[in-house]
């Protein structure tokens, strides 16, 4: 009994350490946003500022499957501690950046560390906890994303206004050291290292291939037109490297992303559903705050809290999903989550204009609940159909698919919104002829006539409605992706 109590205590401390490391990786995608004016004022480089975000997300996304494979080969603990160390060193380096390009480089290295955190934290949750417990643990880990969505912008704004923007990176160091200490001391990993044949060629090719795709998604339509020479060159390079990656991975002795990941419906369905879910996630995340501020006239803080309300439903539904998937199975629980996502997207479409804030919040909570009921069964499901020696690669691939979907979603919904808005502005009053992209500034200045202001708000609302229509389409595709999976997952009984 005393030994069991000791083991539970150790697991609790490890879980706390995992939650802190996950929060660090999640928060660094949001904490920078509110400090951008101060960063630009100090370092310059206004035209390059988007790369402060893009390089972090790029490095994080492309390395997730690589770290997942490495954790299978060398153990989770070493990969997590190494990745967190890299994250903290690059955080310190970001804090002492002397110009915008040094900050961009250090943020890229920071993203490399974040990829290790995301891949191994979720894999360790699968290692340490039983099938019955994993839903509750995923709920705790999911709550870190919700907390980060609120804390990140608030801390970033506070440091920028009352201290110095460099503290948004320095705050990572004490928290990261605490988490590493807990994991180092309390995590006792029983890992039998097998003979490793590291697929260097596959790792490099995956990095380059996915990197080309994400760069195109992030920059096309902004830095260059979609139909342009740079886009064509990147597309051709992406196709060439995709072919090389498939060729190398089929022939590698121990591939980073094994072909069997895409040959089994029990893995293909959940992974494709995460791509589709990632796309859906980016609709509200990218444009709901702009809509709330411009069309409904609320402030940035209120918009942030409305967006973060999705994080209420997600961890709660994630925690409760365990009882469901133990009773009706992983696929049917995921299908229920997909149906809730579809209903939430329909809710966005049918809300009358001007939208009720209460109904928007409730719809966001419903959407989060759908994500929780979908993502947790799909992740726990793929972890449960392989042994421990393959859990890292299936977890890394599942998480990678979600982040890839988010990159796709940001690009898709950006194109939908911009195209819709430009078409409507073709019939705008002359007063709005030279509005450019400073929509929020112009509306908040109060210099427009009432008719022009109303036209602009309606145009933004209509463009947002087109995004909601796109959300509905991709939510249906999410449902179909889950449907691909078999109704019963062949659970591998572990002796851990």
pLDDT (mean) for 430-458: 68
Of 99-103, 112-116, 337-341, 449-453, which gets the smallest average pLDDT?
Answer: 449-453
3-state secondary structure (DSSP) of residue 224: strand
Q: Which residues pair with 189 in a beta bridge?
A: none
Pairwise CA distance, residues 1 & 18, whole Å: 26
Of 97-101, 209-213, 371-375, 426-430, which gets the smallest average pLDDT?
Answer: 426-430
Of 2-6, 242-246, 267-271, 337-341, which gets the smallest average pLDDT?
Answer: 2-6
CB neighbour list of residue 85: distance below 8 Å, 6 or more residues apart: 113, 180
Using the 8-state DSSP alphabet, how is residue 220 labeled?
A: B
Answer yes or no: is pLDDT of 1 > 60.
no
pLDDT (mean) for 40-60: 78
| Segment 376-392, tens digit of pLDDT | 999 999 999 988 888 98
Of 219-233, 407-421, 426-440, which gets the smallest average pLDDT?
Answer: 426-440
pLDDT (mean) for 61-83: 89
- How many Cβ atoms sit within 10 Å of the Cβ of residue 40? 17
Pairwise CA distance, residues 474 & 258, whole Å: 27
pLDDT at 328: 93
pLDDT at 443: 65
Angle at 164 between CA 292 and CA 167, to 5 degrees: 90
First to last CA, the chain: 19
Q: Which residues pair with 220 in a beta bridge?
A: 224
pLDDT (mean) for 280-309: 75
What are the C-alpha distances in Å from 88 to residues 21, 80, 135, 176, 482?
10, 12, 29, 7, 37
pLDDT at 417: 81
pLDDT (mean) for 138-160: 78
Pairwise CA distance, residues 265 & 51, whole Å: 37
SS3 readout for 357-395: HHHHHHHHHHHHHHHHHHHHHHHHHHHHCCCHHHHHHHH
What are the C-alpha distances in Å from 191 to residues 13, 71, 186, 476?
20, 10, 15, 41
pLDDT at 151: 76
pLDDT at 337: 96
| Segment 150-190, tens digit of pLDDT | 777 777 777 877 888 899 899 999 999 999 999 999 988 77
Answer yes or no: is pLDDT of 363 > 50.
yes
Answer yes or no: is pLDDT of 118 > 80.
yes
Percent of the chain with pLDDT over 70: 90
If one compares 339 and 130, the residue with the highest pLDDT of the two is 339
What are the C-alpha distances in Å from 367 to residues 4, 205, 277, 468, 472?
38, 36, 11, 12, 12
Q: pLDDT-based confidence at 435, cuts 50/70/90?
A: low
pLDDT at 495: 44
pLDDT (mean) for 337-355: 90
Structure tokens at 464: 């947002």
Of 119-133, 188-202, 260-274, 466-480, which gets the smallest average pLDDT?
Answer: 188-202
If one compares 195 and 362, the residue with the highest pLDDT of the two is 362
Average pLDDT, rounded, for the chain: 84
pLDDT at 496: 47
Answer yes or no: is pLDDT of 490 > 50.
yes
The residue to which tokens 């350490």 are assigned? 17
Answer yes or no: is pLDDT of 276 > 90.
yes
Pairwise CA distance, residues 308 & 19, whole Å: 18
Of 14-18, 158-162, 444-448, which gets the smallest average pLDDT?
Answer: 444-448
Answer yes or no: is pLDDT of 237 > 60.
yes
Q: pLDDT-based confidence at 444, cuts 50/70/90?
A: low
Answer yes or no: is pLDDT of 4 > 70.
no
String of b and e for 254-267 (b: at least 16 CB within 10 Å)? ebbbbeebeeeebb
């Amino acid at each position: 009994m005393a030994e069991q109590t000791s083991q539970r205590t150790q697991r609790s401390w490890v879980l706390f350490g995992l939650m802190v490391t996950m929060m660090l990786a999640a928060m660094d995608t949001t904490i920078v946003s509110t400090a951008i004016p101060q960063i630009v004022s100090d370092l310059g480089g206004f035209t390059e500022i988007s790369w402060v975000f893009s390089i972090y997300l790029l490095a994080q996304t492309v390395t997730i499957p690589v770290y997942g494979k490495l954790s299978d080969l060398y153990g989770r603990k070493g990969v997590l501690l190494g990745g967190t160390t890299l994250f903290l060193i690059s955080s310190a380096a970001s804090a002492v950046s002397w110009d915008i390009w040094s900050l961009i480089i250090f943020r890229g290295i920071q993203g490399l560390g974040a990829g290790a955190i995301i891949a191994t934290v979720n894999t360790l949750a699968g290692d340490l906890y039983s099938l019955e417990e994993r839903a509750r643990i995923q709920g705790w880990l999911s709550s870190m994303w919700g907390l980060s969505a609120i804390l990140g912008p608030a801390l970033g704004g506070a440091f920028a206004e009352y201290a110095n923007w460099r503290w948004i990176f320095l705050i990572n160091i004490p928290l990261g050291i605490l988490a590493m200490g807990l994991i180092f001391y309390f995590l006792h990993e029983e890992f039998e290292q097998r003979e490793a044949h590291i697929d260097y060629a596959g790792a490099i090719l995956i990095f380059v291939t996915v990197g080309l795709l994400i760069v195109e998604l992030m920059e096309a339509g902004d830095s260059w037109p979609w139909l342009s020479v740079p886009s064509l060159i990147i597309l051709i390079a992406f196709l060439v490297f995709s072919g090389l990656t498939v060729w190398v991975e089929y022939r590698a002795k121990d591939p980073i992303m094994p072909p069997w990941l895409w040959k089994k419906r029990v893995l293909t369905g959940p992974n494709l559903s995460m791509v589709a879910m990632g796309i859906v996630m980016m609709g509200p995340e990218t444009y709901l705050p702009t809509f709330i501020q411009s069309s409904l006239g609320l402030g940035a803080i209120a918009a942030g809290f409305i967006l973060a309300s999705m994080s209420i439903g997600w961890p709660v539904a994630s925690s409760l999903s365990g009882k469901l998937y133990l009773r009706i199975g992983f696929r049917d629980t995921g299908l229920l989550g997909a149906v809730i996502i579809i209903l939430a997207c329909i809710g966005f479409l049918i809300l009358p204009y001007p939208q009720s804030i209460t109904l928007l919040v409730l719809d966001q909570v419903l959407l989060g609940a759908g994500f929780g009921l979908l993502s947790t069964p799909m992740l726990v499901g793929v972890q449960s159909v392989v042994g421990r020696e393959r859990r890292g690669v299936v977890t890394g691939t599942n998480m990678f698919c979600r982040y890839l979907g988010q990159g796709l979603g940001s690009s898709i919904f950006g194109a939908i919104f911009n195209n819709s808005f430009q078409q409507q502005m073709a019939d705008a009053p002359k007063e709005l002829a030279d509005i450019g992209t400073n929509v929020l500034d112009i509306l908040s200045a109060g210099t427009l006539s009432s008719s022009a202001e109303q036209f602009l708000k309606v145009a933004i609302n209509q463009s947002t409605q087109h995004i909601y229509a796109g959300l509905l389409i991709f939510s249906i595709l999410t449902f179909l992706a889950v449907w691909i999976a078999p109704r019963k997952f062949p659970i591998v009984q572990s002796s851990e």
